[in-house]
Amino acid sequence: MEVQIFGVKKSAETRKALRFFAERRVKTHFVDLVERAASLGELKRFAQKFGVGALIDKESRRYQELGLAHARYADDRWLEKLAEEPLLLKLPLVRQQQRLTVGAAEAEWKGWLEGAGR
């Protein structure tokens, strides 16, 4: 089993996800969104499952700094904004084959591991 984790090193939730999988000896591929932004295609994959609104961290400092509380963008524009500004994302974004999660989802990750016979 291998998982891909999109996040930033400063994010406590991202560090929790990395630790969760490391403690269970699951191979991870970490994508630091500060160094390399997520592609629009990758973000669209998460948006198709959860909706664009679920990807936006409305509590984040960056969301407040940019004054987006009253922004009314179309989904495509939000995806572009999220690709440009990774600190607006609810982190971490975790992918294991076709399975996806947004934010800390330890219960779901445990289910993945049980399904893989770990």
Taking only the tens place, the pLDDT of each residue in 59-68 is 999 999 999 9
Residue ranges of the domains in the chain?
2-115
> Which pLDDT band holds residue 58 (cuts at 50, 70, 90)?
very high
Dihedral pair phi/psi, residue 72, rounded to 5°: -125, 80
Residue of 34, 41, 48, 49 lying closest to 91 (CA atoms): 34
> Which pLDDT band holds residue 118 (cuts at 50, 70, 90)?
low
> Which pLDDT band holds residue 24 (cuts at 50, 70, 90)?
very high
Q: Which helix (H) or strand (E) holds 32?
A: strand 27-32
| CATH architecture designation of domain 2-115 | 3-Layer(aba) Sandwich (3.40)
Q: What is the pTM of this model?
A: 0.91
% of the chain surpassing 70 pLDDT: 98
- Round to whole Å and give the CA distance between 82 and 78: 6
